[in-house]
């Protein structure tokens, strides 16, 4: 006999434990999907989750993919904590990459220590400005930020497409849809010879530290948390709601812009159509899986980065379509949301004997 009771308060340990339940359920679900597709599930899961990180190169690739996910998710955690649904991080990433890439292209034939900081700054500002559009429309025109931020994703991708095909395309590039290569001064320094992992990871780590400090040690962080829990309380306390919305969107956009700049000055080295495999959307899952907690997000970004990497490996070795990565990511979020049920409700399994005694 099963009895369901509402909990009075959420146990903290369980709050951080349920993401692990979600991950285990996703792996099981993935095994079932592989089985249906006609693969040996154990072997497929091995190629998916173990082979990719069984050597140093693979591990560097994992960190490379986790870097933008972590950065964006950190930014999104500010928005989500305060009940602002910015789901257009992919657009802010793209626009940040456009602005940062534009600056890098200005210096394409120059070298200098000042170039990379300028490019990074430009990218952050680009992302920030782009995120301000839904924020301003939300605060001053009462417009739904979900739809606006999402529409802007399509707009930014079309703008990037226009630039790399048209005015910014490489004059010596035989009409390929790509820009010139950036100069070495615009590239993120590599951390190890022969590996692709680059200095961008320090940006992500800095973002983690800064966000932890902001969220838990400052007045702004307090405002954000209170507004997230109850808008009425926030109003009653006299918080400036509009300013806060603008600020969280700016933080979130800047982080996404940094992620975009990290990609183009890191592994890519130029602008072209495919600068992000939907990192901006996947980071939404990372933010939730990490419980909107800075350190949780580090862990979650590594897990989700593994689904990207595993999908690539599984495609090479087993010809499993790489889109399984997205299916895994969707499943993680489904299972995470489902396991939240355990947070709010106590599921008691009563033995019959006890029941009989009671009657």
Interacting residues with other proteins (CB under 8 A): 4, 6, 85, 87, 137, 141-144, 146-148, 150-152, 154-155, 158-159, 161-162, 165-166, 281-282, 284-285, 288, 321, 323-331, 333-334, 337-338, 340-341, 344
Q: Report, in Å, the least distance between residue 334 CB and other proteins.
A: 5
Q: How far is the CB of 209 from other proteins (least distance, A)?
A: 27
Closer by beta carbon to other proteins, 116 or else 152:
152
Could you tell me the CA-to-CA distances from 69 to 64, 153, 348 in Å, in that order?
A: 9, 17, 37
Q: Which tokens in the block code for residue 349?
A: 């399994």
| Cβ at position 328, least distance to other proteins in Å | 8
Q: Is 218 left (phi over 0), alpha (psi -120 to 50) or beta?
A: beta
Least spacing, CB of residue 111 vs other proteins, in Å: 33
> What whole-number distance in Å separates Cα of residue 314 and Cα of residue 143?
42
Q: How far is the CB of 57 from other proteins (least distance, A)?
A: 26
Q: Which long-range contacts (CB under 8 A, 24 or more apart) does 130-134 make?
A: 130/91, 130/92, 130/95, 130/96, 130/156, 130/253, 130/257, 131/86, 131/88, 131/92, 131/249, 131/250, 131/252, 131/253, 131/254, 131/256, 132/246, 132/249, 132/250, 132/253, 134/86, 134/88, 134/249
The vertex-306 CA angle with 192 and 292, nearest 5°, equals 100
Q: Which of 183/307 has CB closer to other proteins? A: 307
Of 55 and 144, the one with the shorter C-beta distance to other proteins is 144
C-alpha 236/C-alpha 153 separation (Å) is 35
Residue 185 or 282 with smaller CB distance to other proteins: 282
Closer CB to other proteins, 8 or 109, in the complex: 8
Token digits of residue 60: 């560097």
Q: How far is the CB of 140 from other proteins (least distance, A)?
A: 9
| Count of positions (residues) in the chain | 359
Q: How far is the CB of 65 from other proteins (least distance, A)?
A: 17
Tokens for 268, please give them: 């890519």
C-beta closer to other proteins: residue 157 or 187: 157
CB contact set of 156 (below 8 Å; sequence gap of 6+): 90, 91, 92, 94, 95, 98, 130
**In this complex, which beta carbon is closest to other proteins, that of residue 71 or of residue 320?**
320
């Amino acid at each position: 006999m099963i009895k369901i009771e509402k909990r009075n308060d959420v146990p903290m340990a369980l709050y951080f434990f349920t993401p692990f339940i979600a991950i285990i359920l996703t792996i099981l679900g993935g095994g079932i999907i592989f089985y249906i597709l006609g693969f040996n599930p154990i072997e497929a899961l091995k190629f998916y989750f173990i082979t990719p990180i069984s050597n140093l190169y693979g591990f560097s690739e994992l960190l490379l993919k986790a870097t933008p996910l972590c950065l964006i998710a950190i930014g999104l955690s500010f928005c989500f904590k305060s009940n602002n649904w910015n789901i257009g991080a992919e657009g802010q990433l793209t626009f940040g990459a456009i602005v940062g890439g534009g600056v890098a292209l200005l210096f394409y034939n120059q070298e200098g220590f000042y170039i990379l900081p300028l490019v990074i700054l430009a990218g952050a500002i680009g992302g920030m400005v782009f995120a301000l559009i839904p924020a301003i429309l939300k605060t001053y025109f009462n417009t739904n930020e979900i739809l606006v931020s999402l529409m802007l994703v399509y707009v930014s991708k079309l703008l990037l497409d226009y630039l790399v095909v048209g005015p910014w395309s490489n004059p010596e590039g035989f009409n390929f849809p790509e820009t010139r290569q950036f100069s070495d001064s615009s590239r993120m320094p590599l951390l190890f010879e022969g590996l692709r992992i680059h200095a961008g990871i320090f940006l992500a780590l800095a973002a983690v530290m800064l966000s932890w400090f902001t969220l838990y040690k400052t007045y702004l962080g307090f405002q954000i948390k209170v507004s997230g829990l109850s808008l009425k309380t926030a109003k009653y306390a006299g918080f400036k709601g509009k300013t806060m919305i603008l600020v969280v969107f700016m933080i979130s956009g800047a982080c996404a812009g940094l992620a975009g700049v990290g990609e183009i000055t890191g592994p890519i080295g130029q602008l072209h159509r495919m600068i992000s495999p939907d990192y901006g959307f996947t980071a939404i899952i990372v933010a939730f899986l990490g419980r909107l907690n800075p350190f949780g997000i580090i862990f979650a970004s590594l897990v989700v980065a593994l689904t990207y990497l595993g999908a690539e490996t599984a495609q090479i070795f087993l010809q499993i379509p790489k889109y399984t990565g997205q299916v895994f990511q969707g499943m993680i979020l489904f299972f995470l949301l489902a396991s939240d049920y355990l947070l709010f409700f106590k599921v008691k399994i009563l033995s019959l004997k006890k029941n009989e005694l009671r009657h």
